[in-house]
Amino acid sequence: MMAPRQPGANLSAVRGYAASMPVSRAVTARGALAGAVAATVWAAQQPLDQRVFGVPYDDCALLGTAVTRGRWALPLGWALHVANGALFGALYANLAPRVPLPSWARGPVAGMAENAALWPATALIPALHPAGGELPELWGSGPALAQATWRHLLFGTVLGELERRLNAEPEPEIPAYEAVVSPNGDGTFESAAVAGLVVPEGE
C-alpha cells in the first residue's frame, strides 16, 4: 500500500526543478534581440518568397487584421510579429543549451518544430479569423506548406546563429608569459635560468 503524499511534495519538486534551471537576464535579453532580428528578416523577405512559391500570404497581415482593419493593420502586424519573435528567442536562449544537438542545428530544429506545431492551425483561419475570407487558403496547399517551412527554417537559422554568437561563452584568458615559464610561478624565466647556472659551494 502506497504511503500518502505530503501536501507540499509536488510544489517542492517543482521548485527544485526550477532552481536547477537558472535564468540569466542577460542571456534572455540577448535571445530576445536575436529573435526580434530573425522575425524582422522573415517579414522583410516575404515579398520575395511570395513570388517564388506563388502564395500571396503575409504573416504580418494575418496578425494585424486579427486585431484591427485599415491602414494600421500592417504596421501593427509587424510589431506583433517582431514581438512574437522576441518572445520565442528569449525562451530559446534559455532552453537551447539543454538540447542534445550541435549548437548550429538547434535553431533550425526549433524553427521546424514551431512550424509543425502551428501549421495545423491554418485549417481554422477561414472560420475563426476576422479577415479569414480575404486571406489565401493555406491548409491543404502544398506551395503554402513549402512557403511556411521556408520561413520557419530561415527564422530558426538566423535566430540560432545570432543567439549563439551573442551568448557565446567568453574564451579563457591566456596566462601571463612569466607564469607559464616559471617553475613555481614566482619570478621570471630569466631569474630561473640564472639560478640554475649558480652551483652551490661544496658540490
pLDDT digits (tens, 9 = 90+) for 188-197: 555 444 445 4
Q: How confident is the model at residue 172 (pLDDT cuts 50, 70, 90)?
A: low
Is 50 in contact with 56 (CB distance < 8 Å)?
yes
Is 80 in contact with 64 (CB distance < 8 Å)?
yes
Residue 172 lies in a domain: no
What phi, psi does 67 have (nearest 5°)? Answer: -110, -40
Residue 5 lies in a domain: no
Residue 85 lies in a domain: yes
DSSP string, 112-172: HHHHHHHGGGGGGHHHHSTTGGGSPP-TT-HHHHHHHHHHHHHHHHHHHHHHHHHTPPPPP
Q: How confident is the model at residue 23 (pLDDT cuts 50, 70, 90)?
A: confident
pLDDT digits (tens, 9 = 90+) for 65-74: 999 999 999 9
Residue 94 lies in a domain: yes
pLDDT value of position 14: 39
Is 53 in contact with 144 (CB distance < 8 Å)?
yes
pLDDT value of position 132: 87
What span, in angstroms and rounded, lies between the C-alpha atoms of 65 and 131? 6
- Looking at the structure of the chain, the number of domains it has is 1
Residue 15 lies in a domain: no
Non-local (6+) Cβ contacts of 20 within 8 A are none
Residue 84 lies in a domain: yes
| Residue 5, H or E segment | none
| For residues 11-31, average pLDDT | 67
Q: Which amino acid is at 57?
A: Y
Is 32 in contact with 86 (CB distance < 8 Å)?
yes
Non-local (6+) Cβ contacts of 158 within 8 A are 34, 37, 38, 41, 42, 107
What phi, psi does 30 have (nearest 5°)? Answer: -70, -35
Q: How confident is the model at residue 101 (pLDDT cuts 50, 70, 90)?
A: very high
Residue 186 lies in a domain: no
Residue 190 lies in a domain: no
Q: Which domain holds residue 76?
A: 23-166
